[in-house]
């Protein structure tokens, strides 16, 4: 069984405390729309800083969204693929995430994005329902894809009631974002 | 094997008629894509399914320097000036705000999979999802339908979500529980023939009493307030029925139609009102097409006469009273036994819990139970929060909860002793905030965030106010209500707030500056008992300071038991205007450019992004909708034939002719039922015998196709016969279109 999904969210953690005011990202996201600095159609910036945990700022696009998310463990940068490929994990998804990470690091002083752990949420409950059998297959499949993209990696399933299939991919090295981008391209 | 589609996966979990409606909508999407469904008709069709437009969906967006074209793929439009691929809003009707834990969980999943992970509760007890692609909407609707939710008539010129006091059934002050009546009226009018021909939207609300604000009956097209009386020693339940109220740019208080409408008369009387509105309401000028304008034009006496005359002409319908014969509502039974919170537990309660209890918790009329408001900032909850709330509803309340008109959720039937634990768990998920119903619980419409009509950022302002007003310590100032609308349309209900704001724009120093008009004098109590008036505009960035000044002065100067409204009257609007004027100054751009952009948005402010609203939709008559439906059925018949389902193809072609014939008949006889024989008889008498359906060259030939198909019925047909029937159905539908044009021409000549 090979799993596919239309919508997936891939995210990276930010260094603890480096973005204590996530709304600083708002002008950066507006700049992406204005300057068309990323491929794709970018539509708007949505702000939800008033909601405790969850997305704080979202760059809404046609093919994908980017979001700064706040959760108990810290702040994350996420990319949600909405159309195009249906692979659980691929070069385009990770590459796009790293590209935005680079934009944030270069635009906002002090912001650093970690690359040694990324999290995949499969937002397609039809094709990838959260059942033990499917999670086992997804974990194995994502492990293979991750190794092909970034070298050695550990994949663990995160179990949280009612949530979509969620996998954590860990790597031993925390490369800089630009280094990780070069490695992915190479 | 895993299912390939949600349609397959959900199968029989969706009731047949709803499944069919969604299939029909999916076909309409396909027809529009192929250019076979006219743009205006498709727009009204999707609106009536709850799929609404959103800011920038014309493919244009200001970036702060100029207007950019958003490079969406080239596709047919999904409405006049509306790009197919531009994201839109999905409005999910939650009848009278009541929903189950399972329904909330499904909406949480939908927000993640099709939207941006946020559920937004509206002032009409709906839930809205933003940034949804039109092609995702059929599956989204299927997943909702599988848990008993339809989005039908959530937008467009239709009966919108019926609202109700969220405390119905548990409030000590109510005359009786209006829930069964709100439920019955909702589903009686949903899809009813008499509600398909409106020139504008139509809103209904229920309230259990006259004094509180929960039902807001005074600004609805139909406002229903429960009341009782004793006649010859017998206790009777009924309603004070109000009509013709509305907010919008010109608010109007509803007028009393009837002092006591017995419960069994509510549905037929509402039907009669809908008929009068459908027949006599304005259709050309949508700015004056709400019921309030008709009531004003006719006068309440004449309107009342017409309604009761119409009531007498209605064909009896068993649904009018079916709900009165059912046992009392069984959906909401408490899960846990009633147990008051002991005094020692109360004494040991944390400060947070004590604050929460003071503002968010109210005793029910059922001893030992409380209702708990879960305050949502600006009406927003994340998918994760919604799932957590659903779990808590299951654990503590017996599965149900209600969305409220002030954009929160209400958990009812909480055993009081569970309060500390419930609060602890709510807080874990960021849902335990105190302050519900206080000055910091600011209501806001979507404004410039997502609405095409938004002028200023009402949500940006509300978020700012919410943050600053957490610390208001004076209990009288803390009890005030603030409501913000992004424009004059009053979706944020600014007219009935103590302190209301509506977004406007001003040119200062040669540049646009976002402003808000201050509105005072409104009354939230007494079902929204009085409408405030605008005093003057201040730049958005000065609004928080103006609010501080107003609330501080009110707290300082208020005489004993004086309301804010009374205080405004006492100090005088001239004095309030001075406070406004003091905040009206805008510094030069070079001194402080922040005034020239809106809250939370770094772009230089513009009104260039304002688009055409879809609130009203285009006026599309029942006849036009009927003919479009018959065309779609002919198309479906072709698809069925392609799939070798000959019998179904033949049946669908016949149905297409029936649909077209009934749409024509209904133009003249609104009482016509869906009975095939009745439609045939009426069509024959009104259009065939009179030759009004006749083609100038072919005479009655196309009508004969219809009569022949009816005579043949569903008798076994071979492929060739089915093919012929489809062709004949198409010709009949075309002839119906021609007949429609002749009817319109006759009317023009008559006029």
SS (H, E, C) B454-494: CCCCHHHHHHHHHHHHHHCCCHHHHCCCEEEECCCCCCCCH
Query: Does the beta-carbon distance from A30 to B602 stay under 8 Å?
Result: yes
Query: Does the beta-carbon distance from B117 to A54 stay under 8 Å?
Result: yes
C-alpha to C-alpha distances, B281 to A156, B47, B270, B683, nearest whole angstrom: 62, 20, 15, 26
CB-based contact, B317 to chain A, within 8 Å: no
Percentage of residues of chain A with pLDDT beyond 70: 100
Strand runs labelled E in A82-125: 117-122
- pLDDT at res. B279: 94
- pLDDT at res. B534: 85
Nearest to A127 among B2, B71, B85 (CB): B2
Comparing CA positions, the residue from A83, A58, A109, A51 lying closest to residue B114 is A83
Structure tokens at B12: 């029989």
How many CB atoms within 10 Å of residue B716? 9
Indicate the DSSP class of residue B684: I
Residue of A nearest to B62 (CA): A34
B320-335 pLDDT, tens digit per residue, is 999 998 766 555 788 9
- pLDDT at res. B260: 97
Query: Does the beta-carbon distance from A50 to B466 stay under 8 Å?
Result: yes
Query: Does the beta-carbon distance from A27 to B131 stay under 8 Å?
Result: no
- pLDDT at res. B347: 64
Query: Does the beta-carbon distance from B449 to A46 stay under 8 Å?
Result: yes
How many CB atoms within 10 Å of residue B646? 18
Nearest to A126 among B9, B63, B391 (CB): B9
Global pTM reads: 0.89
Q: Are strands B482-485 and B499-508 parallel, antiparallel or unpaired?
A: parallel
Mean pLDDT along residues B627-648? 86
Mean pLDDT lowest among A180-184, B45-49, B636-640, B654-658? B636-640
pLDDT greater than 70 at residue B226:
yes
pLDDT greater than 70 at residue B124:
yes
**pLDDT band (50, 70, 90) for residue B738:** confident
B433-470 pLDDT, tens digit per residue, is 999 999 999 999 999 999 988 999 999 999 999 989 88
Q: Which of A126, A128, A133 to mutate to test the interface with B (most CBs of B within 10 A)?
A: A126
**Count of A–B CB contacts within 8 Å?**
115
pLDDT, chain B, mean:
91
Q: Which of B89, B111, B112 to mutate to test the interface with A (most CBs of A within 10 A)?
A: B112
Contact B443, B483 (CB under 8 A): yes
* CA-based end-to-end distance of chain A: 30
Chain B contacts of A50, Cβ < 8 Å? 377-378, 380, 463, 466-467
Structure tokens at A149: 């993209």
**Distance, CA of B210 to CA of B256 (rounded, Å):** 13
To the nearest whole Å, the CA of B113 is away from the closest chain A CA by 5
pLDDT greater than 60 at residue B616:
no
Nearest to A26 among B5, B108, B600 (CB): B600
pLDDT greater than 90 at residue B351:
no
| Residue-wise DSSP of A60-92 | EESSEEEEEEEETTEEEEEEEE-SS---SS-HH
- pLDDT at res. B584: 93
Phi, psi of B645 (to 5 degrees): -95, 80
To the nearest whole Å, the CA of B692 is away from the closest chain A CA by 50
ipTM of the complex: 0.97
B397-414 pLDDT, tens digit per residue, is 988 899 999 999 999 999
Mean pLDDT along residues A109-120? 96
Contact A98, A83 (CB under 8 A): no
Query: Does the beta-carbon distance from A43 to B380 stay under 8 Å?
Result: no
- pLDDT at res. B628: 83
C-alpha to C-alpha distances, B533 to A57, A134, B530, B543, nearest whole angstrom: 35, 60, 10, 17
pLDDT greater than 90 at residue B261:
yes
**pLDDT band (50, 70, 90) for residue B742:** confident
SS3 of residue B640 by DSSP: helix
**pLDDT band (50, 70, 90) for residue A160:** confident
Beta bridge partners of A74: A71
C-alpha to C-alpha distances, B115 to B108, B112, B240, B460, B691, nearest whole angstrom: 10, 6, 41, 21, 53
pLDDT greater than 60 at residue B566:
yes
Mean pLDDT along residues A113-121? 97
CB-based contact, B377 to chain A, within 8 Å: yes
- pLDDT at res. B214: 76
Task: Give residue limits of the domains in chain A.
Answer: 8-185
To the nearest whole Å, the CA of B112 is away from the closest chain A CA by 7
- pLDDT at res. B154: 94
B149-199 pLDDT, tens digit per residue, is 999 999 989 999 999 999 999 999 999 999 999 999 999 999 999 999 899
pLDDT greater than 90 at residue B590:
yes
Which is it for the CA torsion A77, A83, A84, A85, positive or negative? positive
Phi, psi of B373 (to 5 degrees): -85, 125
To the nearest whole Å, the CA of B499 is away from the closest chain A CA by 21
Percentage of residues of chain B with pLDDT beyond 90: 70
Mean pLDDT lowest among A39-43, B246-250, B258-262? B246-250
Mean pLDDT along residues B597-624? 80
**pLDDT band (50, 70, 90) for residue B251:** confident
């Amino acid at each position: 069984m090979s799993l596919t999904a239309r919508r997936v969210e891939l995210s990276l953690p930010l260094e603890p405390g480096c973005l204590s005011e996530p709304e600083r990202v708002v002008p950066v996201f507006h700049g992406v729309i204005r300057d068309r600095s990323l491929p794709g159609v970018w539509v708007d910036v949505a702000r939800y800083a008033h909601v405790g945990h969850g997305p704080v700022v979202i760059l809404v696009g046609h093919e994908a969204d980017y979001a700064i998310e706040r959760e108990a463990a810290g702040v994350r940068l996420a990319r949600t693929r909405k159309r195009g490929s249906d692979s659980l994990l691929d070069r385009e998804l990770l590459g796009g995430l790293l590209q935005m990470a680079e934009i944030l690091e270069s635009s906002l002083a002090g912001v650093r994005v970690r690359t040694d752990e990324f999290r995949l949420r499969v937002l397609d409950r039809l094709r990838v329902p959260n059942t033990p059998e499917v999670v086992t297959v997804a974990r194995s499949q994502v492990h293979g894809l991750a190794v092909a993209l970034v070298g050695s990696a550990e994949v663990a399933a995160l179990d949280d009631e009612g949530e979509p299939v969620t996998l954590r991919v860990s790597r031993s090295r925390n490369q800089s974002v630009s280094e990780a981008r070069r490695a992915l391209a190479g | 094997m895993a299912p390939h589609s949600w349609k397959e996966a959900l199968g029989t979990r969706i009731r047949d008629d709803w499944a069919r409606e969604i299939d029909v909508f999916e076909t309409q999407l396909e027809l529009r894509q192929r250019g076979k469904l006219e743009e205006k008709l498709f727009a009204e069709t999707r609106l009536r399914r709850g799929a609404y437009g959103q800011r920038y969906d014309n493919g244009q967006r200001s970036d702060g320097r100029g207007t950019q074209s958003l490079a969406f793929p080239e596709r047919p439009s999904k409405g006049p000036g509306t790009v197919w691929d531009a994201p839109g809003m999905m409005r999910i009707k939650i009848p009278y705000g009541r929903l189950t834990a399972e329904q909330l969980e499904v909406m949480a999943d939908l927000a993640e999979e099709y939207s941006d992970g946020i559920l937004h509760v509206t002032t009409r007890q709906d839930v809205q999802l933003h940034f949804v692609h039109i092609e995702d909407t059929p599956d989204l609707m299927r997943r909702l339908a599988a848990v008993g939710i339809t989005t039908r008539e959530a937008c467009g010129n239709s009966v919108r979500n019926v609202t109700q006091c969220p405390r119905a059934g548990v409030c000590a002050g109510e005359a009786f529980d209006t829930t069964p009546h709100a439920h019955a009226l909702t589903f009686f009018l949903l899809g009813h023939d008499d509600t398909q021909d409106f020139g504008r939207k139509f809103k209904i609300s229920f309230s259990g009493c006259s004094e509180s604000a929960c039902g807001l009956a005074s600004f609805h097209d139909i406002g229903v307030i429960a009341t009782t009386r004793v006649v010859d020693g017998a206790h009777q339940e009924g309603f004070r029925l109000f009509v013709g109220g509305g907010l919008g740019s010109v608010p109007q208080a509803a007028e009393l139609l009837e002092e006591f409408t017995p419960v069994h008369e509510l549905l037929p009387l509402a039907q009669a009102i809908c008929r009068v509105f459908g027949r006599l309401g304005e259709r050309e000028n949508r700015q004056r097409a709400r019921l309030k304008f008709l009531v004003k034009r006719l006068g309440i006496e004449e309107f009342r006469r017409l309604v009761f005359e119409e009531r007498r002409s209605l064909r009896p319908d068993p649904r009018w009273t079916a709900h009165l014969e059912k046992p009392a509502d069984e959906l909401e039974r408490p899960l846990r036994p009633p147990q008051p919170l002991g005094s020692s537990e109360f004494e040991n309660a944390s400060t947070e819990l004590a604050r929460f209890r003071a503002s968010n918790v109210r005793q029910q009329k059922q001893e030992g139970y409380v209702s708990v408001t879960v305050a949502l900032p600006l009406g927003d909850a994340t998918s994760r929060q919604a799932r957590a709330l659903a779990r808590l509803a299951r654990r503590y309340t017996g599965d149900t909860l209600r969305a409220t008109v002030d954009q929160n959720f209400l958990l009812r039937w909480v055993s009081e002793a569970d309060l500390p634990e419930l609060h602890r768990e709510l807080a874990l998920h960021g849902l335990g905030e105190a302050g519900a119903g206080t000055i910091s619980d600011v209501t806001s419409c979507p404004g410039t965030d997502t609405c095409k009509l938004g002028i200023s950022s009402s949500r940006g302002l509300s978020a700012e106010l919410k943050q600053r007003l957490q610390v208001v310590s004076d209990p009288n100032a803390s009890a005030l209500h603030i409501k913000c609308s992004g424009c004059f349309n009053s979706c944020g209900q600014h007219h009935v707030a103590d302190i209301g704001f509506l977004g406007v724009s001003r040119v200062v120093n040669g540049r646009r500056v976002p402003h808000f008009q201050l509105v005072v004098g409104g009354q939230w109590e007494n079902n929204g008992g009085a409408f405030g008036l605008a005093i003057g505009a201040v730049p958005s960035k000065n609004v928080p300071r103006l609010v501080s000044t107003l609330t501080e002065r009110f707290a300082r100067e208020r005489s004993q038991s004086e309301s804010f409204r009374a205080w405004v009257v006492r100090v005088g609007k001239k004095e309030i205007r001075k406070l406004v004027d003091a905040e009206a100054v805008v510094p030069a751009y070079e001194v402080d450019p922040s005034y020239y952009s809106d809250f939370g948005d770094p772009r230089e402010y513009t009104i260039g992004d304002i688009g055409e609203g879809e609130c009203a939709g285009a006026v599309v008559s029942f006849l036009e909708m009927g003919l479009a439906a018959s065309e779609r059925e002919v198309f479906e018949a072709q698809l069925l034939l392609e799939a070798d389902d000959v019998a179904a193809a033949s049946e669908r072609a016949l149905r297409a002719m029936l649909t077209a014939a009934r749409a024509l008949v209904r133009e003249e006889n609104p009482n016509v039922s869906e009975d095939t024989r009745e439609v045939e008889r009426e069509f024959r008498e009104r259009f065939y015998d009179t030759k009004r359906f006749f083609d100038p060259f072919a005479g009655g030939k196309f009508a004969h196709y219809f009569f022949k198909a009816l005579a043949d019925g569903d008798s076994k047909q071979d492929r060739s016969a089915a093919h012929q029937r489809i062709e004949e159905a198409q010709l009949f539908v075309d002839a119906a279109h021609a007949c429609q044009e002749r009817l319109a021409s006759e009317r023009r000549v008559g006029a």
